[in-house]
Amino acid sequence: MGIQGLLSALKSIQTTKHLSEFSGQTIAVDAYVWLHKGVFTCATELATGKPTTKYVTYAMEKVRLLRYHGIEPYIVFDGGPLPAKKHTEVERKRRRDEQRAKGNLLASQGKHSQARDCYLKCVDVTPQMAFQLIKALRAESVQYVVAPYEADAQLAFLERQGIVSAILTEDSDLLVFGCKTVLLKFDSVARTVISISRADFASVTSNSSDSNGISLVGWSDTQFRAMAILSGCDYLPSIPGIGLKTACALLRKWKTPEAVVRHVALEGKKSVPKGYLNQFKLADNCFLHQRVYDPSTERLVYLTDVDPCGWDDLTEAYIGGDLERTLAKRLALGDIDPVTLEPMVDINPGYNPSSRVLRNLDNGVSPSRKSQGKSKSGSKSRNESILNFFGPNPIIPPRPKSPTSKPKVYAGRASGKRTLAEVMDQDVAAKKKRRTPLSAPASPTTSSRFFVNPLVSDIRRTSSGMTIQSRTDAGLETENLASSEDEVESVHDGDSLVAHGYPVTELEDHSSSNVEQEDGYISPSASMSRVEDEFSSPSNRPFADDADDNFGADPVSSPVAVASVFRPRRLSRSPSLVRAGSLDKILVHDSPVPLPNKLSTTKPVVDLKECLDHDASSDIDYSGSDNEDSTPPYPSPLTPVQTDTNRVDQSEEIEDDPAEEGLRANALRTQAVAAGWRNRWAHEPSYPKNVQSSLKRRETNITPTGRHRQLRINEDITSAPRVTPRLAVNPIRGRKSLSFLEETSVKSTGKGNINVKTLDSDVENVSHSTEVRNRLERFCYS
DNA sequence: TCAGACCCGTCGT
DNA sequence: CGGGTCTGA
């Protein structure tokens, strides 16, 4: 669903970019997109239960393509179902089953092509399928993470942390999550993507105000989010009759969602569902605070820190319950089924992509990552940690028969029939060389690109403590099967492993090229740091004049322009970054401001504040003086508080260690945020008490049932809470319901963490396995 | 003019 | 899931 109409409303700021423009960057990828498309290559097999991994091949081709262009992908998988979306899942599941049955029927009648059509409609991506891809990613040392809940939030988090510089997806929701750069419509033939930059939001109006009246000028993230939610989002259907445009207009007029809802209700033309505002708040919290996995601390965190005041159990459950740390990590690694929280079942143990890559390494045919390519020799020494890393998943001794594998694994080589594409690439490479020597030491031949180009290398990210170095290594062949648990422990106990179990030693291995890596990572020069204001107007793009060398038909800005990876520090260094470009107004960032990386914050408090102030004075007229003639003043009513909040958030960011300072900042933040929160939500119209209570009860099983299985451990299975929620159908319409109000008979033990021990014993106690299996089957990536 | 229902393609041969 | 199209208000 996403936000209907949002992408088309933002058409004017969409730009087509060639992959080469992102060379040197790390880009987060919504794995669902590729998996789901890849599933079409083998829909029949999947629907009829034939083992296949074609979808992995499909996804890996994309991965290799990105790497071929010097882009380091960071694959993000969906995790457990968020309560907010359960109803959607159930409905989809029902449809799929329908189609599968239909397909089977047709197949039995020999109508195979028709059957296939049905199969296409019932295909579904399961965590087990995702795991097959994970195996391949591990084998080729591609970064990945399984989100505890929604991939969207996880993607947003990665970008906000500066771990990635853009997000490749198909979902407009990412913008609501506050992402800065969203890439859509990945075209692997043309090798282009459509890019939407948040920085361009302000110019939406200038280009297309007449055609589609939405204008984001001067809006804060909060208002943008409010517009999206009001117009209907995954978490909350809109008030019937309100779409994007109306939401936008209403918000312009009344400024806050509260006021909008009040007036809509008063007007009486549209019927506002009961408790809508409250549900709005929950949806807003989902976008703001959804739980994500922090790879650097290896635990679940809020996408944006929460305000303890006004934070209730319902909200807590709604945005996804916490998970015990070990469990969270295993889930993030893919060793745990995010739905059942049980150890991942390898549905295709015969598919073992790791072995073939290892063999390649032995042969010196190494990945495009220069680290590997250069140090063929270094591999043996890392056997130990590699083995540990792979431990959790039983390693099958490599069999020669590996299905899809040719010895060549890497893009440009893997598929031999890419003549035109390769020509194009060389073209681009040549051009890049001509123009931006630092962006890519372009080499004329593919092979040398692979092995020499430092930009194709891993990004070394010391700040987050995470490295992306290759885990592939020789020696896997000798690996014995070991129990997952043991292996996990050994990983934990191993020498300072960083996120994803990548051994630190890898870091040293590549230190020789670190400088280059850093250069590739940090923006090469100050002038190149992402200049949001300068880009805010399409007509105002620097480097636009040398666009001739983009062979693609569409305007592609110079690689130089996008060469840098997002570095918060840059913001503070060059005030010009936040200077408003000409007339363009930039969205004010309130809460979801990308927080500076710990290591990169030298004096961010002051600087960022300056940025914000600057922003405020030059871009957004908070004082209420009219920026535009026709439109009413639209200062965000929350702005002062928000700014405050930001500041405090930042201050909290700097002290990365729990010190007294942290406490103080926390208190400050709490106050500030609480004030803002109260302003925002405290005067909600009182809704019926019973609603509240049913919400509470709902909370008892939202997260817990979905996530915390110990709740049911000693329960009679038959009386266990139904995983399938009874849908509280929106009375207004037969639209997709809100599952908030769903009642439940289960008592909660609280939102608390899950106890791994409990889980494990739970796992062994398979008495509930029917339920588990049901959930397993019911699950789908949404 | 807008919301919303509906259908389509998604892969790859 | 987005996109396009048609329809009804």
Spatial separation of the C-alpha atoms in residues A725 and A722, rounded to whole Å:
6
Spatial separation of the C-alpha atoms in residues A169 and A154, rounded to whole Å:
12
State the pLDDT at residue A270: 87
State the pLDDT at residue A163: 97
Q: Does residue A58 approach strand B to less than 7 Å at its CB?
A: yes
Q: Å from A738 (CA) to C7 (C1')?
A: 27
Nucleotides of B under 7 A from a protein CB: 1-5, 10-12
Q: Are A75 and A152 in contact (CB under 8 A)?
A: no
Nearest nucleotide (C1') to alpha carbon of A782: C1
Q: Does residue A120 approach strand B to less than 7 Å at its CB?
A: yes
> Which residue lies nearest B13, CA-to-C1' measured?
A41
Q: Å from A2 (CA) to B6 (C1')?
A: 18
> Which residue lies nearest C4, CA-to-C1' measured?
A8
Helix (H, G, I), strand (E, B) or coil at A498: coil
Residue A579 Cα distances to A224, A332, A336, A463, A594, angstroms:
21, 39, 46, 28, 17
- As beta bridge partners, residue A210 has none
Q: Does residue A301 approach strand B to less than 7 Å at its CB?
A: no
State the pLDDT at residue A71: 96
Nearest nucleotide (C1') to alpha carbon of A43: B11
Q: What six digits make up the tokens of A563?
A: 């060469």
State the pLDDT at residue A137: 96
Q: Å from A741 (CA) to B2 (C1')?
A: 30
Q: Å from A529 (CA) to C8 (C1')?
A: 50
> Which residue lies nearest C1, CA-to-C1' measured?
A1
Spatial separation of the C-alpha atoms in residues A545 and A156, rounded to whole Å:
32
CA-based nearest residue to A143, from A74, A243, A212, A84: A74
Q: Which residues touch strand C (CB under 7 A)?
A: A 1-4, 7-8, 88, 170-173, 234, 782
State the pLDDT at residue A345: 94
Which parts of chain A sit beneath pLDDT 50? Answer: 206-211, 355-782
Q: Does residue A241 approach strand B to less than 7 Å at its CB?
A: yes
DSSP 8-state secondary structure symbol assigned to residue A753? P
Q: Does residue A121 approach strand B to less than 7 Å at its CB?
A: yes
Spatial separation of the C-alpha atoms in residues A221 and A484, rounded to whole Å:
43
Helix (H, G, I), strand (E, B) or coil at A699: helix
Residue A25 Cα distances to A73, A100, A435, A507, A702, angstroms:
8, 41, 18, 18, 38
> Which residue lies nearest B4, CA-to-C1' measured?
A241
> Which residue lies nearest C9, CA-to-C1' measured?
A241
Q: Are A112 and A48 in contact (CB under 8 A)?
A: no
CA-based nearest residue to A418, from A117, A136, A68: A68
Q: Is A663 exposed, middle or buried (0-12, 13-18, 19+ CB in 10 A)?
A: exposed
Strand B-proximal residues of A, range 720-759, CB below 7 A, are 733, 735
Matching residue, tokens 């399961």: A126
Nearest nucleotide (C1') to alpha carbon of A85: C1
Phi, psi torsion values for A683, nearest 5 degrees: -95, 40
> Which residue lies nearest B8, CA-to-C1' measured?
A121
Nearest nucleotide (C1') to alpha carbon of A214: B2
Nearest nucleotide (C1') to alpha carbon of A5: C2
Q: Which residues contact A75 (CB under 8 A, 6 or more apart)?
A: A28, A29, A31, A63, A133, A137, A142, A143, A144, A145
Q: Å from A469 (CA) to B2 (C1')?
A: 51
pLDDT digits (tens, 9 = 90+) for A40-70: 889 888 888 889 999 999 999 999 999 999 9
Helix (H, G, I), strand (E, B) or coil at A628: coil
Nearest nucleotide (C1') to alpha carbon of A169: C1
DSSP for A45-62 reads HHHTT----HHHHHHHHH
Spatial separation of the C-alpha atoms in residues A699 and A663, rounded to whole Å:
29
- Residue A377 has a CB neighbour count (10 Å cut-off) of 9
CA-based nearest residue to A46, from A82, A99, A110: A99
H or E, element range at A143: strand A143-146
Q: Is A751 exposed, middle or buried (0-12, 13-18, 19+ CB in 10 A)?
A: buried
Nearest nucleotide (C1') to alpha carbon of A36: B10
State the pLDDT at residue A18: 93
Q: Does residue A52 approach strand B to less than 7 Å at its CB?
A: no
Q: Does residue A36 approach strand B to less than 7 Å at its CB?
A: yes
Angle at A335 between CA A367 and CA A708, to 5 degrees: 150
Helix (H, G, I), strand (E, B) or coil at A130: helix
State the pLDDT at residue A211: 45
Q: Are A596 and A567 in contact (CB under 8 A)?
A: no
CA-based nearest residue to A415, from A58, A39, A133, A136: A58
Q: Does residue A543 approach strand B to less than 7 Å at its CB?
A: no
pLDDT digits (tens, 9 = 90+) for A10-42: 888 888 999 999 999 999 999 999 998 898 889
> Which residue lies nearest B12, CA-to-C1' measured?
A41
Q: What six digits make up the tokens of A500?
A: 């994803």
Nearest nucleotide (C1') to alpha carbon of A14: C2
Nucleotides of C under 7 A from a protein CB: 1-4
Q: Å from A555 (CA) to B10 (C1')?
A: 26
Separation of CA A2 from chain center: 14
Strand B-proximal residues of A, range 59-78, CB below 7 A, are 61
DSSP 8-state secondary structure symbol assigned to residue A233? B
Separation of CA A124 from chain center: 20
Nearest nucleotide (C1') to alpha carbon of A241: B3
Encode A543-568: b = buried (16+ Cβ within 10 Å), e = exposed: beeeeeebebeeebbbbbbbbbbbbb
Q: Å from A5 (CA) to C3 (C1')?
A: 10
